[in-house]
Amino acid sequence: MDILHKAKDYVESLFKDKLSSVYFYHNFIHTTYTVNKAEEIMKNTPVSKEDQEKLLLALWFHDTGYIECAQNHEERGIEILKKFLQNENYPENYINDVSKLILATKIDYKPENLLEKIAKDADCSHFASHDYNDISDGLRKEWELTNVKYFSNDEWNAVNLDFMKNKHTYYTDYAKENWEPLKKKNIRKIEKKLEKEEEKKEEKKENQDNKKDPKSDRSVDTLFRVTLNNHTRLSDIADSKANILLSVNAIIISVCLSVLVPKLDTPKNAHLIIPSFLLLLSSVLTIIFAILSTKPNVTKTKFTRQDVADRKVNLLFFGNFHQMLFDDYNNAMRDLIKDRDYIYDSMVKDLYYLGKVLDRKYRLLSLTYKIFMAGIIISVLSFGYAFLKL
């Protein structure tokens, strides 16, 4: 396993075991996104292999300091990086180069070379994301929960608009050409939000005598949105890993069936029958469990109209309402929309059962990797033993 794969696994375990759940933004999902965006830039920018490795190592560790404290987290991340690379016997000058790239991700730092520019652009790539609103809400929620600052809608939009227009810039040619236009689109969306907020304020003044239903808590809405988004991304990651195993083992089986198996009917190759069988068996088992981990698990429940009236049915899940007539579903949804507690109860159920699905998926995926690893080891050892017996 190369150093970048080791770094990814190390940081993933570190965040899983030690990072507080209040960090809705500075977590493994943001770190992975930043690394992917740096790779995107470097595919279109001439950078040596060694410099690529240094930069990606820096980005894997640039937010690890949050496991201890948000203040000066870059310096704390450098300490974690140094211990990791020292255990891998990397020289001090190499470690210092990577450490400087971590410091380059500080919000007020001005990059001085190409690698620092790539690091800055990758760390701020979410400004050009189609999911910028959800990502931004995650940071807002994180600051509220960590007592950094509470923002109203207008304040948050104004802060984001000011930063994106007046304080942030992309440095690499690739980011300027490909991300700057998307960032400008997000700026226009924020400007429209501020305009709408102004219109809402005017409407409230005009309708002061009208009683309105209480508005839902913004922080609760953000919590549901960000949590659901994280669940979805984790599901995508699990499916991606399962697909990798499916592809690898499908190749192994096709190669064995086309190249190795036809040669086993000769007496001189009889010693390869058992190792070949073990290799094929482990690949088949891996494929079976990989398919099970990605197999949809939809529970369909029958219910009566009284169940809908008593609010015992989650109308947000298609497995519940797909058998309803449209008029019944429309009336039930109107009741749901009018009752904030009913909405939250339905969303909590949705998140809970999605979490149960994720738990099953990751347990099966973990078992699949163990089967694949054990199968490869046993197969290689059996092939070695078979040849030694000759």
Amino acid letter for position 265: D
**Local structure of 186: helix, strand or coil:** helix
> Does residue 119 contact residue 55 with C-beta atoms inside 8 Å?
yes
**233: buried, middle or exposed (CB in 10 Å: 19+, 13-18, 0-12)?**
middle
pLDDT at 127: 92
Amino acid letter for position 217: D
Both tokens of 25, joined, read 């933004």
What gap in Å lies between CA 130 and CA 231, rounded to an integer? Answer: 18
The DSSP secondary structure of 49-73, one letter per residue, reads HHHHHHHHHHHHHTTGGGGT-STTH
Domain spans in the chain, listed from the N-terminal domain onward: 3-206, 216-390
> Does residue 77 contact residue 63 with C-beta atoms inside 8 Å?
yes
Give, in order, the Cα–Cα distances in Å from 196 to each of 108, 202, 209, 325: 31, 10, 21, 36
Among candidates 121, 112, 106, 115, which has minimal Cα distance to 53? Answer: 115
pLDDT at 299: 54
pLDDT at 48: 92
The structural architecture, per CATH, of the domain 3-206 is Orthogonal Bundle (1.10)
From first to last of the 390 residues of the chain, give the pLDDT tens digit. 489 999 999 999 999 988 888 888 899 999 999 999 999 999 999 999 999 999 999 999 999 999 988 888 899 999 999 999 999 899 999 999 999 999 999 988 899 999 999 999 999 999 999 888 889 888 999 888 888 788 888 888 899 999 998 889 999 999 999 999 999 999 999 988 888 888 877 777 766 655 444 455 677 777 777 777 777 777 778 788 788 888 888 888 887 877 777 777 677 777 777 888 888 888 888 888 888 877 766 555 555 556 555 666 665 655 556 666 667 667 767 766 666 776 777 777 777 777 777 788 888 888 888 888 888 888 888 888 877 766
pLDDT at 212: 47
Helix axes 49-61, 28-43, angle to 10 degrees: 160
Both tokens of 1, joined, read 């396993």
What gap in Å lies between CA 14 and CA 290, rounded to an integer? Answer: 26
